[in-house]
Chains A and B, each alone.
Chain A
Amino acid sequence: MLLQYRAAAVAGFGTQLFWGLIMVMIYEAFYRSTTVRQPMELGQVVTYVWLGQSFLAMLPWNVDSEIRGMVRQGAVAYELLRPVDLFNLWYSRAVATRTAPTLLRSAPMFITAMLFFGMQPPDSIASGFAWAAAMIGALMLGCAISTILNISLLWTISSEGVSRIVPALVLIFSGGIIPLPLFPDWAQQTLRVLPFAGLADFPYRLYVGNIPPDRVLFVLAHQVAWTIAFVALGRAILSRGVRIMVVQGG
């Protein structure tokens, strides 16, 4: 389905490449202006930026447009009739819609950024494996948040509020604007505990070696704990949502 819109994919790729390049130049300029030792090295930050561009589509920043359509037009009633658990169904949907575009975009971005724009391979083989494990954790966590966003449609129908405000929170607290270690020291403790760090920042820092690979178990524990919490929350609000749901149309 995604390959149907090749021109749009190419344009999206170009935009991301351009944006990444601007960010890299900004960091180069900042690092050239200081002699103080920073919590991350420039090379690590550059690689972090490109990882962010490669896996942008994996962040839980929007609602599923098909589910929105179903809720609006009442077709969501059919979803309730299916002999499968609705939460599991929507969670699986989220996994599919997050994985496919990410796979499509990340490979060309990786290759281009590594060949031309200073992206580096994983810090060590162990870092590479730790990163891969944490990316799976990030996907599970991201899909749990995505599913909650989709369930929120049962109340808001238009998703206007959720789809406008959640992306900003996800972006800033996951490291989508600047790497989390570059925020002031007093904010670090909070940023580490929040669920969003597990979506991007932790895996990327494992990749560049800013978090040593032997800490991967802590990262996975953080991701799994938050995933369980969000799944529990999601199931609770879904069962409430189904009870109060009024099917539109008739």
Chain B
Amino acid sequence: MTMIDTLRLYLRFIGISVRAQMQYKASFIMAAVGNLLASAIEFLGIWALFERFGSIRGWSLPEVALFYGIANTAFAASEAVARGFDTFSSMVRLGDFDRLLLRPRSTVFQVAAQELQLMRIGRFVQGFVVLVWAMSAVDITWTFPKALLVVGAILGGACVFAGFFILQATLAFWTIETLEIVNTITYGGVQTAQYPLAIYRNWFRKFFTFVVPLALVNYFPALAILGRADVSGTPAFLPWTSPLLGVAFLAITMQIWNFGVRHYTSTGS
């Protein structure tokens, strides 16, 4: 099985998923608009607070918008791609996972290829618009490496969020049901990453740096782009490795997934 072969099969699966979603076009449009609105009101809130307060501990609205844009595009992308993992517990409960084990492809691939959830485009577009505005409004000179780092931060962030969807799904091998407590970290994480981590309390910063490595792929790259120093003094090369750190985290979660697969006992009769 070659790489190209896998990719072709993935596109085939995704094509089916997209066509299925397009069967209900009005429903798709409503869902996408709702998805856009849900994140747009969050930004409206942030804008209103800046109208009142001017800045948050020395950070301006365009700077915060850069964090917001990176976090939301990354999260929307991972939600769309990792949808199969988000709904995975029902697959375990119904015993459908057995079928996946019989097919000659990896289980991660098969779950990931189940669905590309198109409605997430709403949040993605909203985050992207904010990001583009932020990039034009911040007071820095753009260089090619910096632009590249924006893309890298989004990809790295998407990998970390996808990793969390995989971890959540992995837990279902033991618990059968979805542990919504993991949502606390994924949704709480995107909420947190909308502002620079420097504004939060110390223990909270540490949590999102060392326990949940979201800061590595979101906060530190954005600091490097803005040319700001971190409050806790991290090495300068660190932000540039962020996409790789995201990929590494995703690879680790896949290993944990494989460990979970070995522990899987079918619920079917």
Interface residues of B: mostly helix, strand, loop or mixed? helix
CB proximity to A under 8 Å, residues B167-202: 177, 179-181, 183-184, 187-188, 191-192, 195, 199-201
Q: Are A38 and B52 in contact (CB under 8 A)?
A: yes
A8 → chain B, closest Cβ, in Å? 6
The answer for the CA separation of A159 and B64 in the assembled complex, in Å, is: 35
Does B42 make an interface contact (CB < 8 A)? yes
A168 cross-chain contacts in B, Cβ below 8 A? 34, 37-38, 40-41
A25, A160, A178: which contacts B199 (Cβ < 8 A)? A25
CB proximity to B under 8 Å, residues A116-174: 158, 160-161, 163-165, 167-168, 171-172
In this complex, what residue of B is CB-closest to A165? B34
The answer for the CA separation of A34 and B199 in the assembled complex, in Å, is: 14
Q: Are A15 and B187 in contact (CB under 8 A)?
A: yes
Does A247 make an interface contact (CB < 8 A)? no
B54 cross-chain contacts in A, Cβ below 8 A? 33-34
Q: Are B179 and A25 in contact (CB under 8 A)?
A: no
Does A242 make an interface contact (CB < 8 A)? no
A8, A33, A165, A184: which contacts B180 (Cβ < 8 A)? A8
Does B238 make an interface contact (CB < 8 A)? no
Q: Are B49 and A182 in contact (CB under 8 A)?
A: yes
A7, A12, A33, A165: which contacts B30 (Cβ < 8 A)? A165
Q: Are B49 and A33 in contact (CB under 8 A)?
A: no
B201 cross-chain contacts in A, Cβ below 8 A? 25
Total number of A residues with any Cβ neighbor in B under 8 Å = 35
Q: Are A160 and B183 in contact (CB under 8 A)?
A: no
Total number of B residues with any Cβ neighbor in A under 8 Å = 39
Q: Are A182 and B31 in contact (CB under 8 A)?
A: no
Report if A172-B34 is in contact (Cβ < 8 Å); known contacts: A19-B191, A22-B188, A29-B57.
no
Does A246 make an interface contact (CB < 8 A)? no
B27 cross-chain contacts in A, Cβ below 8 A? 158, 160
The answer for the CA separation of A11 and B48 in the assembled complex, in Å, is: 30
Q: Are B188 and A160 in contact (CB under 8 A)?
A: no
Q: Are A164 and B30 in contact (CB under 8 A)?
A: yes
The answer for the CA separation of A158 and B112 in the assembled complex, in Å, is: 27
A10 cross-chain contacts in B, Cβ below 8 A? 181
The answer for the CA separation of A171 and B179 in the assembled complex, in Å, is: 26
Q: Are A184 and B30 in contact (CB under 8 A)?
A: no
Chain B residues packing against A (C-beta within 8 Å) = 26-27, 30-31, 33-35, 37-38, 40-42, 44-45, 48-49, 51-58, 177, 179-181, 183-184, 187-188, 191-192, 195, 199-201, 204
Nearest 5 CB-CB pairings of A with B? A164-B34, A11-B180, A177-B45, A168-B37, A29-B199
The 30 listed contacts between A and B (C-beta, < 8 Å) are A7-B179, A8-B180, A10-B181, A14-B181, A15-B183, A19-B187, A25-B204, A26-B49, A26-B199, A30-B52, A31-B53, A34-B52, A34-B53, A34-B54, A158-B27, A160-B31, A163-B34, A164-B31, A164-B37, A165-B30, A165-B34, A165-B37, A167-B34, A171-B41, A172-B41, A177-B45, A178-B49, A182-B49, A184-B51, A184-B52
